[in-house]
Each structure stands twice: as structure tokens, then as C-alpha cells.
Structure 1
Amino acid sequence: MAGIGFELRKLFRKKSLFTNIRAYAYSSLVTIGPMLLCMVMVAVMQKLQSYVNMPFAQKELFLAGSQYAFIFSLLLTSGFVMLLSRYVADRLYEKKYEDLLPSLYGVMSICLLIGGVVGIAFLLRSPLSLTFKIAEYLLFMELIIIWLLTVYVSALKDYIRIVKSFFYGAIVTILSGVLLLKVLSIQEAYATIAAMDIGFLTTLILLMTHIEGYFLQGGTRYFHFLRYITKLPAVFAIGFISTLGIYVHNFIYWGSKMSITVGDTFRFSPSYDVPVFFAFLSVIPTMVIFVVSVETSFYEKFRSYYSVILGSGTIQDIARAKKEMNDVLLQELSFIMQIQLFFSLFAMAIGIKFLPNLGQTAEQIDSFNILVLGDCLYILMYIIVLLLLYFDDRKGALLTSSLFLIANLIATPIIITTGHHGLGLLISAAVAVGMAIMRLLYILKNIDYYTFCAQPLVVKENKTIFKKLMNRFRFNN
């Protein structure tokens, strides 16, 4: 993530237990903070609903509404988030800090415009109350901003203030929920959604205030980042396709006989979606460990290899630096695989023990176990995709992400008929991770060729229609 690597490397150079804890805590916050916050909010609100005996129909409406807002806001912003991570990292490296804040305003205006139109079009046809529609719409729009802010939050250095922003948002959500559901006795789904609106708005305002106070003011290149779409279109596509791939099996189940329609608006499959939610929690630790591992151990060898090439190193120096880089990368990747396998097995054991207490059936627990293994392979695939992007292998990363999506689209409809729910994700992830590993080994074996020979001698300007429009409206200034 943009900017986080610089801070993690500073912390780990100090070689103390306290700084290591800070580094892992910071990595956890900027990588999974918003997602974890959303999951915690949903779980707490569900407990509060049970405490006040909210009607079952309203509970389902809340669950469906929050799930739709979460998934589709993530899908809408996923391509931009991947692209902005590259853009912000480049601006930080080049010390062009004045471009950062305008780019945030620019991407927010684009995503909020698209999301606003889509959200209104979706909710207009709904027979639900106006109060619920407004609360749902606000949640969707706030989550769009939150996902975009995560790119810029990773460049901030005030860890305590970032932690407080997320913590205060969670506390405000809980207090708002107690006020609306318990004190005011509003037994409606919109009250729970509204409580989340207030909590996310609190976090959003605190983070925006911090970002605006940290970055330089006065820049005017609001849409300068758009030139990266023509410069690196594959990066945008990878972000969107990899995110769509992890949710497309849900969409297929929503269109199957296992789905229900809530409030004549939201179609989802609770018997499948709930195990999916719990299974995905098993990959969170690996996401954190990967960021720390890559940005510290691997990055140093990665930088050394290219420093030797750009410097006055001999062929022997280059060969030695390459071997050290490859060895460290494979070692760290092996470590991450072992860690994820441990957490997957641990999650399966915990699920078998405690999920029945949460009302999960034997069939759902079987699905949960399969999905945990599928997510295990998926996160390994996603990590390798990010590593391929480190070596600028956009083609390999795009092919791997696309293969995962296509395999899911083919396997999941077939698996539904067999009753082995979740196996579609497992098969798709297995195929994709196999492809990813082969591609990474190929790149590592031929890294010298890609470094010295694969670059074009003459860079041709991309004359696409989009590029011409950008030049027309001076987005490249």
C-alpha cells in the first residue's frame, strides 16, 4: 500500500519488541482497519437487535442492506484503489506532495457521482420506506469514501490518531445503536443502518481532517491521476477483476433457488452468505503479515538487486543480488503459506466448535470448511498477483485474476447442483493459484531478461480516445 512501506522499514530498523508491535499494529490498521470495522459494526448491531427483540424480517433487511452497501461500494472503488496506490506511491517517491490532496478530491467526485446515480436508480424501484432508503444510500456513499481514504491513510504517520479515528467511529456506532434501538425503541432496520451511518461519518470526518492537515494544500491537478488509466490500464482492471472474482460466487447463489428476496429489494442467500462471511475472516492475519513481510525483508533485497544493476556492479554482483532476492522472496512466500494454513485449520476447528451456537446448520458448517480452504488458496493467489506487480508483470497478474474470475463463473453454477456449496470457490482458487505460482517462478527465472531486454526502445504515446479526451480537458497538466 502506498506509503506504508516507508514507515514499516523505519520501524523494523530499530530492532526492538515495541517497534515490531507498532509495525504490525500499523500494518493491521491500514490494511484491514476499514473492513474489520465494518464487520465488527455489523456483528455488534446484530447482537443489539437480538437484545431488543427486533422482528426477524427487520434483521434480515438490515443484513441484506449492509451487505449490499459493503460489496458494491468495494466493487465500485476497487479499480481506483489499485490505481491510486500506484499513483500515491509515485507522488510520495517524487516528493510531489501537492498532487495528493487534489487527487483525493478528484477520485471522490468521480466515484460519488457514479455511485450516486447507481444508488438512486437501484433504490427508486424499491417499495421500502423513504427513511430506510436514505439511511441505506448514506451508508453506500460513506463506504465509497472510506475505501478511497484507505489509500491516503497509509501515507500518514500519526498512528495514534488513526487508531482513534477508527475507535471513535466504532464507539459512536454502538452508542447510536443503543440510543435508537433501546432508548427510543425504534424496532426498524433503518435505525441500525442509521447508527452505522453516524459511526462511519465520525471516522470519515476525523480521517479527512487529518489528511487535509497533513498533505500540502493549493494543488489544482484534481484529475491528474486519470492519466494512469491510459498509462497502466491493466492495474485498474486487476483491482476490479480480483475483487469481482471473490464475490461473483455470491452473486451466482443470489440468482439460484437458495436465495430469498428481502423487502422486495435485496436478493441474497443467507444460508450461503453467512458461512462466506465467517470464512473470509480466516485470511485477515495473512493480509497483515504479507504487508509487513514484503515491505521489509523482500523489499530490501528487491532494492539491492536493482541498485546493483543501476550502479557499477559486476555480473557476479548482479547474479548474487538476484539469488538473494529470489531466495528471500520464496522463503517469505513459504512462510506466509504456512501461516495461512495454520489459521485456516484453526478457523475450521473454531467453526466446528462454535458455529452451531450461532445457529449454523451442519450443512452450513460443511460449506464453511470448504470456503475456508478456498479463501486460503485465494489469498495466496492474491498475494502472488501483488508480487507480480512488484516486478511490473501486469500481464501475468491480469491473466491470473481473470482466470480466477472465469473459473468461478464456470465452476460455481455446476457446484450448486451437487450440494457441495463453496467447492466452486475452492476449485477456482486452486486453478488460479497454480497459474500464479508458475507465472511467478517464470518471472524469477527470467528476471534478467525482463530487466534488460523486455523494455521498449521507443515509447509510443497511447492514442486512445480516452487519452485524447484527457488532453482536451487538460487532465495531464
Structure 2
Amino acid sequence: MRPLADVNRMLERLTHKRSLTLIGGAYVVAALLVAGPWIFTVLGLIGLGVTACADGCDELALFRTIVIYSSMFSLIVTSPIAFLFARHISDQLFQGKRDGIVFALACAFTIFAFTIALAVVPFYGWGATLTSAQKLAAIHNVMLIGCSWLLIPFLGVTRAYRTVLAAFALGAIAMTLLGWAIPEPSALWLLVSFNAGFAVVNAILLISIIRTFGRTNNVDASLFQLLKHKWELPAAGACYALGLWVDKVIMWVMAPSGTMEMAGVLRTMPSYDTAMFWAHLSAIPIIAVFFVHIETQYKTLSEAFYGGFRRRASLRELAQAMGRIRIFVISNLVGMFAALIIVAATMIALSFVFMHELGLRPSYMTILRTALCAIVFHTSAMFCFIFLLYFDLRKSALLIVATYFALNGILTYSLLPMGAEYYGYGTMIAAALSFLLGFGLLLKELPWLHYHAVITNNTSIQQATGKKWTLAESFIGKNLVWLHPKEPMAGKRKFSG
């Protein structure tokens, strides 16, 4: 299996060429790697709307609203599962164990289907005033979108980027072509076409997983202990997804004006939703730069640092490697923050020129400017979140997304009575505070990477007899003090990496 940095390094080499075509192509590929499924899904929606609704669609808004709600339900339910199972699969492959992968996939699907049945079936079945066929298609829509988002992490750990991109590209093409074939442009037939496109996506992804891991379905006993030892990962996934949607739900339900209601319970706010969509889209170029350059260079630095333990490096050598990581992380976070500010300022300027082409209205502009500022802080906070996960500091990473989720909900609700001029300010303030928290956590933890590598995240600190031992919190030279939990100091052992 190729290491993670192979693709990154190839793209980074292309960005150093003297050809503008190669440089631009490298960043386009990077953007597709980090946001390809989302981009192709949006393109499929646009293509379906163009081909099916050339003469107008009375129910196009209803169809899009159902897709928005399906995306929300899918992200909230799948994120905790994906965070947990992706880590488990990665650990299993690192240990050379492949027999339990299909079993893990089956468990992930079971948890997802059970949760969706509890949440979505009552919502559409008894809450929404849709026809029976529309309700069935809407539930099917949630299931298909969620399944694709569960399959992506299983392929991601094997670096099957091209398969994922090809699957979503073919799904978008299928949606567009089916738009010509449907008998009528109703919400039901639009949903059927969209679902058929995602069925193509899921079929390709599932076949690829079976071809990669085989059909062996051995029960993996370690899977049942996963939540106990790594509970922070699903909690972080849940907080991450809820943080992205909590402000939108509050605006849909509680905004005094500007909302749109369909089928009884499906409420949206076009002015707020459109501004947030374009704001999130604007961050993709910077995320692509992170993927091409920062992740690649960090891989090299981390190999030098963590490889030092295997080489029995001295404490001085480890401290030097750790210092290089600290300088690299802080300097690049500052650089990415500055780049995000430039992109946001550019988007604000362009939005006035291409207002109608972007589907914006004058009433949306204040929200768009606020949303772009919010994305600067939110994306920077997510970079901090990613670095903390790189260091396996799961509780610190969880604190960032949990803070954003809580503050986003509280501040959006609190500022809502102040009027439309303050729409989006709750999200912006929450993102800014979350970024400050994440940056502070990194400043705190970066000097202690050697401690976390040896003690905090060391799962093998135990005797061969099975007796658990504790480690005194001292790291002097290459000696670690080992203490039996019920006895005074039992002596010292040479640390062998």
C-alpha cells in the first residue's frame, strides 16, 4: 500500500514546475481530492435541474429542499461512525489485518440504518405532508447519500482517490442524463433520478471495497472495544457535523422573515443558505494548498520525529525535531489564515460584480460578507483540529468542535432578535473563538509532543505478564521511571524506543 504522502508529493512536485498548466492542474486535482464528492454532487444537481426543468419545474424547490435535509441528516448520522471506523480500519491495515474490514463495514451500515430508521422515518413518515411515493423516495435519498459517505472513509484509508472521484463523476453524469428521460419534472421523478445517480456511486464504491478487501467476513472482536477506548472520535464527528448545521436549523425555525416552508416541516432560508454555501465553497482553494504542501511537508517532519524513537535518538535530537514541527505548524497556520483573508476579500469584491450569476440578491450581501469572515475563522479552526488529530490528541480536538457547536447554537439564537443585520454574526464569533481556542491548544501541546508520543498515547505500556504498570511523568535523557501501582519504586529501565 502506498504511503499517504505519495499523491501529495507528486502534486507538490507539479506545483514547482515552470508550466502554468501543470501548476493549475495540480491544484485542480488537489481541490477534487479534498472536495470532489461534494463538487460532483452539486454539479449533478445542477445538471439534473437544467435537463429536467428546461421548461420550468413547479416542484424544483421542494426537491432541492428534500436534498438539503437529506444531506443534513446524512452528515450528522455518518460523521460519528466515519470518524470511529476510519481510525479502526487504518489501525487494522497498519497491523496487516484485513480479514475484519468487511465485518466493520457491515457494522457501520447496521448502525447507520438503525439510526436513520429512528430519526428520518418518523420525520418524513408522520411529519411531512408528502405523498407516500415522495416519502419513500425521500427516505431512500437519505440512505443513499449516507451510504456513500460511509463508503468513502473505507476507500480513503487505501488511498483509492481515483475510484471515489470516478464514482461521483459518473453519478453526476447519470443524474444529468436521467433528467432527459423522466416523464415529468415533478419532485418525485427528480428524487428518483437523483437517487439513481447515487445508486451508481454506491455500487462503484462497494464493488471497489470488495475487490480490495475480498469477501472474507470474519468477526473482529477488537471492534467491540473500539468505542470504549476511542470515544472521543465519534463525539468529535458528531460535534463537527452538528456545528455545521445548528445555526442553519435555528435560522430555519426561528427567523421572523425570509424563510420558506414546504411539506409542513421542511423549512429553509434561501438568503442565509445561499450565502453560507458560497462562503464554504470559497475555502476549497486554501484547503487544496493545505493538502498539497502542508500535509506533505508535515509527513516528512513527523517521520523524522517519530522515527527517532525507533532509532533510539537522544532527547536533544528529539527536541530538535519537535522544534521543527512546532515552527512548521505555527508558521503555516498563520500563512493559511492570511490566505483565507485574501480569498474572503476577493470573494466579497467579486460578489458585487457577479451577484446575479451567483444566485445572490442585494439582501443577501450582508450575510455573505459575514459568512465569508466566519469561514476564515472556521477553516483555520479546522486546521488546528486536523493537526491535533495528527498528534492523536483526541480530547483537545474534541474540545474545538464541541466549543464551536455550542457557541454557534447559543450565539445564533441570542443574536437572532437583533435583526437581519446580525444574521451570521453568531457563526462568525463562534468560529473566531474556536480558532483562538484551537491555536492556544496547539501552542500548549506542541512542546510536549515527545511526552504524548511516549506516555499519553502509548498503548503498550504494560508488562508481558499482563500486569499494568504506570509511568512516572519524568523523561530524563533516555531513562523512564517505571512504577508498580502497589509498590514503591521498583527500579529503572532503559527506554528502547
The CA RMSD measured in Å over matched residues stands at 2.8
Within the alignment, does 1:34 sit opposite 2:37 as a pair? yes
| Ranges in structure 1 where 5+ consecutive residues have no aligned partner | 462-477
Look at both structures and tell me which one has the larger radius of gyration over its CA atoms.
2
Superposition deviation, residue 94 in structure 1: 1.2
Kindly tell me: are residues 50 and 421 of structure 1, through their superposed partners in 2, closer, same or farther at Cα, counting changes over 3 Å? farther
**1:159 Cα deviation after fit:** 5.2
Tell me the residue number matched to 1:68: 69
User: Hey, what does 1:207 align to over in structure 2?
Assistant: 205
Q: TM-score, with normalisation over the residues of structure 1?
A: 0.87
The correspondence for 1:447, drawn from 446, 449, 462, is: 449
- Name the structure with the higher helix share: 1
CA deviation string 1:409-461 (max 9, x = no partner)? 22112222222211111010001100110110111133344345546866979
Aligned to 2:102: 101
**Aligned residue runs from structure 1 range 79-94, under 5 A:** 79-94=80-95
CA displacement at 1:76 relative to structure 2: 0.3
CA contact (8 A) 2:272 2:364 kept: yes
Pairwise mapping of residues 163-202 of structure 1 onto structure 2 (< 5 A)? 163-180=165-182, 184=183, 186-202=184-200
Cα separation, 2, equivalents of 1:381 and 1:433: 4
Give the whole-Å Cα distance in 2 for the aligned partners of 1:460 and 1:138: 49
- Relative to structure 2, which stretch is displaced further, 281-290 or 365-374? 281-290
User: Given that residues 41 and 170 in structure 1 are in contact (C-alpha distance below 8 angstroms), is that contact kept between their aligned partners in structure 2?
Assistant: yes
Deviation of 1:278 after TM superposition, in Å, equals 1.9
Distance 1:460 1:398, change over 3 A: farther
- Deviations 1:85-118, CA, capped at 9 Å, x for gaps: 2112212211212222221122012202221342
Give 1:167 deviation, angstroms: 1.8
Cα 1:22–1:116 change in 2 (3 A) is farther
Which residue of the partner structure matches residue 147 of structure 2?
Answer: 145
**Amino acid of the residue matched to residue 136 of structure 1?**
A
Paired residues of 1:385 and 1:400 also in contact (CA < 8 A): yes
Question: AA paired with 1:352?
Answer: F
Local SS of the residue matching 1:252: helix
For 1:64 and 1:358, locate their aligned partners in 2 and report how far apart those are by CA, in whole Å.
19
* Partner SS state of residue 98, structure 1: coil
Question: By how many angstroms is 1:345 displaced?
Answer: 2.3
Amino acid at match of 2:4: G
Q: Distance in 1 between matches of 2:2 and 2:410?
A: 38
Give the whole-Å Cα distance in 2 for the aligned partners of 1:3 and 1:30: 16
Quote the residue 1:410 is aligned against.
410
Q: Residue in 2 aligned with 1:464?
A: none
Name the CA distance, whole Å, in 2 between partners of 1:460 and 1:48.
Answer: 65
User: Which has the larger displacement, 255-264 or 144-153?
Assistant: 255-264
Distance 1:393 1:157, change over 3 A: closer
- Read off the aligned partner of 2:432 and give its amino acid letter: A
Tell me which residue corresponds to 2:261: 261
Tell me how far 1:293 sits from its aligned partner: 3.5
| Paired residue total | 454
- Matches of 2:161 and 2:411 in 1, distance apart? 43
1:54 aligns with 2:57: yes
| Equivalent of residue 220 in structure 1, options 218, 221, 224 | 218
Question: Which residue does the alignment assign to 1:283?
Answer: 283
* Counterparts of 1:191 and 1:147, CA distance in 2: 23
Amino acid at match of 1:173: M
Residue in structure 2 matched with residue 5 of structure 1 by the alignment:
4
Q: SS where residue 261 of structure 2 aligns?
A: strand
Question: 2:363 maps to what in 1?
Answer: 363
Q: Which has the higher contact order (CA 8 A, sep 6+)?
A: 1
CA deviation map 1:233-279 (0-9, x unaligned): 01110111011111100011111123332021312222322222222
Question: Could you report, residue by residue, the CA deviation over 1:26-84 in whole angstroms, capped at 9, with x for unpaired residues?
Answer: 654443222222222233334446522112xx122112101000111011001111112
Give the equivalent residue in structure 2 for 1:465.
none
State the Cα distance separating 1:154 from its structure 2 match. 1.6
Could you tell me the TM-score, scaled by structure 2's length?
0.84
Which deviates more, 216-225 or 101-110? 216-225
2:45 partner letter: V
Tell me which amino acid in the other structure corresponds to 1:167. Answer: A
List runs of 5+ in structure 2 lacking aligned partners.
Answer: 470-497
Letter in 2 for 1:66: V
Are the aligned partners of 1:91 and 1:97 in contact in 2 as well (CA < 8 Å)?
Answer: yes
Separation (CA, whole Å) in 2 of partners of 1:63 and 1:21 = 32
Shift of 1:379: 1.2
Change (3 A) 1:325 1:298: same
Find the counterpart in structure 2 of residue 313 from structure 1: 313
* 1:357 to partner: Cα distance: 4.2
Question: Do the aligned partners of residues 277 and 27 (structure 1) sit closer, same or farther apart at CA in structure 2, a change above 3 Å counting?
Answer: same
Task: Summarize the Cα distance change of 1:108–1:438 in structure 2 as closer, same or farther, 3 Å threshold.
Answer: same
Q: Quick one: percent identity of the two aligned structures? A: 21
AA aligned opposite 1:356: H
**Is contact 1:371-1:426 (8 Å) kept?**
yes
Cα shift readout 1:169-193 (whole Å, capped 9, x = no counterpart): 111100111221xxx2x13112212
3-state SS of the aligned residue for 1:355? coil
Change in CA separation of 1:297 and 1:246 when aligned onto 2, cut-off 3 Å: same
